[in-house]
């Protein structure tokens, strides 16, 4: 019995894909999302066409690479669009900001889901000063004093 001439049942790919998608919920890296969608795609194609096992694996590997690259690019472009839309928003310093330890800023309207943010700046900024966002760095906002 030659394993390379066998064909994996379509539902096996579907189940594997769903498991990978579930694991993606726990991971969040988008890699498992690409692998899961590729597995489901191979399962759908196998349901309609009789594809040999070796070609199923090659198809899954190829689609996985394409989907992972697509999702990384797509999500990154959306993330950049969302974060860049907050550049220039103004807030008030509620805890002195120094270049080494940072500080805290409050915004009247929530910025990316929160009114209170940890902030950093190139120069020290005193509590009560008005600042604007110049960059979003993961979970920290880089700000500068308004009027500089």
Predicted confidence (pLDDT) per residue in 71-118, tens digit = 888 876 766 666 777 888 999 999 999 988 899 999 988 877 788 999
| Closest C-alpha to 64, from 20, 112, 99, 118 | 20
- 112 vs 62, residue with greater confidence: 62
Q: Cα separation of 141 and 116, whole Å? A: 10
Return d(Cα 17, Cα 22) in angstroms, integer. Answer: 9
pLDDT at 92: 94
- Residue 121 above 70 pLDDT? yes
* Token output for 40: 């489901």
Least Cα distance to 119 among 146, 138, 97 occurs for 97
The predicted structure's pLDDT at residue 112: 75
Percentage with pLDDT > 90 across the chain: 53
Q: Which two tokens stand for residue 117?
A: 């943010």
pTM of the model: 0.54
The pLDDT mean for the chain works out to 87
């Amino acid at each position: 019995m030659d394993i390379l001439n066998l064909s994996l049942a379509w539902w096996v790919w579907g189940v594997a894909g769903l498991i990978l998608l579930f694991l993606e919920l726990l991971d969040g890296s988008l890699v498992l999302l690409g692998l899961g969608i590729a597995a489901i795609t191979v399962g759908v194609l196998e349901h309609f066409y009789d594809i040999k096992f070796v070609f199923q694996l090659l198809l899954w590997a190829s689609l996985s690479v394409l989907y992972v690259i697509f999702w990384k690019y797509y999500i990154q472009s959306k993330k950049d669009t969302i974060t860049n839309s907050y550049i220039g928003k103004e807030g008030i310093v509620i805890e002195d900001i120094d270049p080494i330890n940072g500080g805290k800023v409050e915004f009247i309207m929530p910025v990316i889901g929160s009114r209170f943010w940890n902030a950093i700046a190139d120069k020290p900024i005193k509590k009560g000063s008005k600042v604007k966002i110049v960059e979003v760095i993961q979970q920290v906002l880089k700000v500068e004093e308004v009027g500089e």
